[in-house]
Amino acid sequence: MILLNKIATILAQPLQGPVDSVIQYLAIDSRNIVVPAQSLFFAIKGPRRSGISFISEVYQQGVRAFVVDEAIDESKYPDAVFFKVANSVQALQQIAADHRKKFNIPIIGITGSNGKTIVKEWLYQLLQPDFNIVRSPRSYNSQIGVPLSVWQINSQHELGIFEIGISAKGEMQSLSQLVQPTMGVLTNIGDAHNEGFSSVIEKVDEKVQLFAYAKTVITASDYIPTTVKTNATIVRWGSKPLPGTNNELPELQLLEQQKLSTETKLVLRYQQQRFQLQVPFTDEVSIQNVMTCVLVLLQMNYRISVIQQRVMQLAAVEMRMQLRKAINQSYLLNDSYSNDKISLSLALQFLKEQANQQPIIAIVSDIVESGETEEQLYQDVANMLASSGVKTLYAVGPQISNYFSQKYSAHYPFTAQVFASTEDLLQHLHETMFQQNYILLKGARKFAFEQIAHWLEQQVHQTIMEINLTAMVHNLKAYQSMLLPSTKMMAMVKAFGYGSGAGEVARRLQQQQVDYLTVAYADEGVTLRKSGIHLPIMVMSADEYSFDAMVNYSLEPELFSFEILTAFHQYISKQGIQQYPIHIKLNTGMNRLGFDMHEVDALCKWLSTQNLLRVKSVLSHLAASEDANEDTFTQMQVDQFSNAVKQIEIALGYSFIKHIANTAAIRRNALWQFDMVRLGIGLYGADNVHQANLPLQTVATLKTTIAQIRHLKKGDTVSYNRSGVITSDSIIATVRIGYADGYPRRMGNGVGKMYIKGMLAPTVGKICMDMCMIDITHIPDVKAGDTVELFGKNISIQTVAKDADTISYEIMTGISLRVKRVYIEE
């Protein structure tokens, strides 16, 4: 914690406001403000938007202290404090640097072109049994991420592990003064950000500035030339004598390595002692990172026997390279986070190991800021592709296209096709280009290769579901008109937005400034984040396997039992994160998920004795809010909820959002609204409250087309088991939809109706997997290719649900993802 008057002193700024106000949180993201009253928001200029454009939003959340480096109309924000500085990022670093000076603990500072995060996480795994460690969350290694990491240090910490990255000359000095590592680690030197330096030596000189306060620097034998000057003692590992010396050997020598199916056996020598090490990885990158970690532990005087035991227990760190299933039984390695020769080489090596003789297709963009001539750069790229077994290259961008179209030598064992841009490639892509391949997607950020990844993972089907976004906004406003002025709106976009397409729906809801989004599972939230959604997102079904994804994508779990609550608390503790937002679910009568009422006392005690988690809301679920006959039970739920949240609020000592009302409850009783309501199926035009006072519009329309028409005689049969018997000469149409698309099997044999040319056509026979048949005898001028509506404006989804003896929710969410969604704006 720090007082505002201390911040004013650090920044050499006058303070006009309460001098004794306490700041505990440094905030740069309007989505992740935990305690507004104790937050200092830094308005940082971005590539597209300025930080000051978020000040109004942040102010509305309750933040009253700001650091700005642009002009701001302070009159709009009464009782707010503004520190006007030359550079908001530098101000952030200044405040964090002052905080760092308060602690005299050993700090390991890690820098390098690749491997920083893995080395940091593995050092944490290796050292955590002996130290209370503070470390960089995720890949917080930038000019902004480093000070936010250092700000986490508190008096309980015994060791710090921070990663530091730079992209240009002059950036490291301020970060060195900020972190002041006592031990340094240089993982490697690659091509990333070469454009910011005149030579490799200059880049190394810049990076080693991090170690100005360090006594020891750990690195591989090739990465710090003997000509580079540093006051620290450089300790190296390697398999060969040090370059530029008279056969001087590195301190840790790699003598032998034997790769097995799931592990690698190493033979090492340190201080004349020879020993073996079993590493639970086989790829070369992991071996290099393990060697770095081992040398750190040796320099910290760990016994070799302890190192051997702990290295065997190392767990893989999930990074950016992930194989995913793609079209036509292919696999996609989407590694488009960065693009330089080193990372390209690592990705190719990884994919080659995974492909196991299957053909590899590489989609590669221009490599930017390499500092090399185009000819030399792309000649090296061509050699890497050839040696990795690539069969086809799709080169994207003017530089790489120029090389492979004009200077490409045909002796390379792969074919090359060139495209001027990502859009150019997308226009030429066809599914037949990929058949049981392993596909590498490697592009610089500016090429937006996520569009290609989306295309490669797409599923194509003629049947479509139209989503009318204009109608959805109308329905949202209809429900908002029923809310009290202070009531917030949480929109449910779980189950693929009730089958409507979560990303597209969420973007429109974000434009309409709803307060919260809710999904059922973490992967749905990840999809929204990748779609550019920055609203807070609550995940209803949290489990231990999803914790990493939730934290990585700023998703907020709903926790409903002591088991899941303690598991998440333990995970957050291991991640070195504090005050992570959570939502507590209470069971007041639904008897599905939630803490029971008799557990509230224990829950209050547990929550009040920890500080890693921050309760953003407490909620419960009404079981029968749509039914007036169950109002007594509903009111009982509401009363239990009200009493429980009062008890929790007293125990915590701070307020949080309270919500229990679902779609039906919004309409039926304003007293059930509390602080926020959850709008679900009503958003999509379906509501199970039997009242006619809310003019909802149809959002979803399921359509397909007629594949074939045939004329049948009396006595003929249709579909499996001859289930549809023709009682008179008839015209039968086969339509392109079946139960695999989500059309229920129980809709067969005349139960279901479809709308075509102004009339209803009953189903005939059983519903097949991909097709079904309808009787169009009474409908004139029908031909193959005509459109058929299964539900929409002409057949309500409520009618379909009634015919299927189910509810609208099941029909909406049951529509298969192979059914293409088309979005309409009126």
Catalogue the active-site residues: 494, 720
Rounded Cα distance, 711 and 733, in Å: 9
Determine the distance from the C-alpha atom of residue 142 to the mean position of all C-alpha atoms in its chain, rounded to a whole number. Answer: 19
Rounded Cα distance, 201 and 568, in Å: 45
Tell me the HSE value of 657 on the side-chain side, using a 13 A CA sphere.
26
Structure tokens at 95: 């405040």
Rounded Cα distance, 147 and 167, in Å: 17
Full DSSP string of 430-493: -GGG-SS-EEEEE--GGG-THHHHHHHT----S-EEEEEHHHHHHHHHHHHTTS-TT-EEEEE-
Backbone angles phi, psi at 426, to 5 degrees: -60, -35
Rounded Cα distance, 461 and 770, in Å: 10
Structure tokens at 30: 């309007």
Tell me the HSE value of 234 on the side-chain side, using a 13 A CA sphere.
21
Q: Cα angle vertex 247, ends 246, 249, to 5°?
A: 125
Backbone angles phi, psi at 78, to 5 degrees: -60, 145
Contacts 24+ apart (CB under 8 A), 245-252: 250/221, 251/295, 252/291, 252/294, 252/295, 252/298
Distance set, CA 662 to CA 294, 539, 639 (Å):
55, 16, 16
Structure tokens at 606: 């547990």
Backbone angles phi, psi at 209, to 5 degrees: -60, -25
Beta pairing partners, 761: 754
Beta-carbon contacts of residue 101 (< 8 Å; ≥ 6 apart): none
Structure tokens at 45: 């200029």
The two beta strands, 556-559 and 580-586, are parallel
Rounded Cα distance, 185 and 116, in Å: 9
Rounded Cα distance, 510 and 519, in Å: 14
CB 149 within 8 A of CB 179: no
Structure tokens at 317: 């760190």
Rounded Cα distance, 12 and 15, in Å: 9
CB 773 within 8 A of CB 807: no
Residue 399, judged by CB atoms within 10 A of its CB (0-12, 13-18, 19+), counts as: middle
Beta pairing partners, 558: 583
Q: How many residues does the chain have?
A: 826
Distance set, CA 773 to CA 230, 660, 793 (Å):
80, 44, 22
Rounded Cα distance, 218 and 225, in Å: 13
3-state secondary structure 313-338: CCCCCCCCCCEEEEHHHEEEEECCCC
Rounded Cα distance, 139 and 317, in Å: 12
CB 172 within 8 A of CB 110: no
Positive or negative, the Cα torsion across 700, 526, 146, 34?
positive
Determine which helix (DSSP H) or strand (DSSP E) holds 278, and give its type and residue range: strand 273-279
Beta-carbon contacts of residue 637 (< 8 Å; ≥ 6 apart): 588, 589, 590, 620, 622, 623, 660
